[in-house]
């Protein structure tokens, strides 16, 4: 079960980095093009939502496996990462969906909001990366 946990952890970390990158790309595309209806912005926003959702699913699997293999103390130490992760995924999903349905005049506003969300995602990513791996 430790091997499965480590594989899921690696994938979770990879999707964390991808979510961080896609949040930045989405914000920059919205700010640069000032269009929410372009194919580029729609693709970036959808990719961002999908990446964040997969990352959250992998995080939930990590918690379940961690508890099953008797590592609840370590799992409990990551409470701040969980709260920020849930907030990040929820906010990304909400604003990405809303930005896709908004008129082009709102593009720069949503780009600025996504830059603010990028800070939240970066803090969450940093906390997750700096915690020690108990199985190493």
Average pLDDT over residues 46-57: 91
| Interatomic CA distance for residues 52 and 31, integer angstroms | 21
Q: Count CB-CB contacts under 10 A for residue 122.
A: 14
| Interatomic CA distance for residues 17 and 19, integer angstroms | 5
Residue 124 is predicted with a pLDDT of 86
Report if residue 33 sits inside a domain: yes
We report the CATH number of the domain holding residue 20 as: 1.20.120
Residue 97 is predicted with a pLDDT of 86
Average pLDDT over residues 108-119: 91
92 vs 78, which has greater pLDDT? 92
Residue 129 is predicted with a pLDDT of 81
Report if residue 95 sits inside a domain: yes
- How many structural domains does the chain have? 1
Confidence band (pLDDT; 50, 70, 90) for 37?
A: confident
Q: Average pLDDT, whole number, for the chain? A: 86
Report if residue 136 sits inside a domain: no
Domain that holds residue 26: 2-130
**Cβ neighbours for 100, distance < 8 A, ≥ 6 positions apart:** 36, 41, 42, 45, 46
Residue 67 is predicted with a pLDDT of 85
Query: What separation in angstroms does the CA of 114 have from each of 57, 69, 120?
Result: 22, 37, 10
Q: Do 121 and 128 contact (CB within 8 A), yes or no?
A: no
Report if residue 135 sits inside a domain: no
pTM, entire model:
0.81
Residue 133 is predicted with a pLDDT of 55
Q: Which of 91, 112, 98, 120 is nearest to 31 (CA)?
A: 112
| Interatomic CA distance for residues 56 and 63, integer angstroms | 11
Average pLDDT over residues 39-66: 89
Q: Which of 90, 109, 115, 102 is nearest to 38 (CA)?
A: 102
Report if residue 9 sits inside a domain: yes
């Amino acid at each position: 079960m430790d091997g499965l946990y480590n594989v899921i952890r690696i994938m979770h970390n990879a999707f964390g980095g991808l979510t961080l990158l896609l949040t930045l790309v989405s914000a920059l595309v919205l700010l640069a093009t000032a269009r929410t209806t372009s194919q580029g912005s729609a693709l970036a926003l959808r990719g961002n939502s999908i990446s964040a959702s997969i990352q959250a699913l992998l995080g939930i699997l990590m918690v379940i496996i961690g508890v099953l293999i008797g590592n609840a103390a370590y799992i409990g130490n990551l409470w701040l990462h969980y709260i920020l992760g849930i907030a990040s995924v929820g906010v990304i999903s909400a604003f990405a969906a809303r930005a896709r349905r908004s008129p082009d005049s709102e593009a720069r506003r949503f780009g600025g909001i996504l830059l603010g969300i990028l800070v939240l995602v970066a803090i969450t990513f940093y906390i997750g990366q700096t915690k020690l791996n108990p199985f190493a």
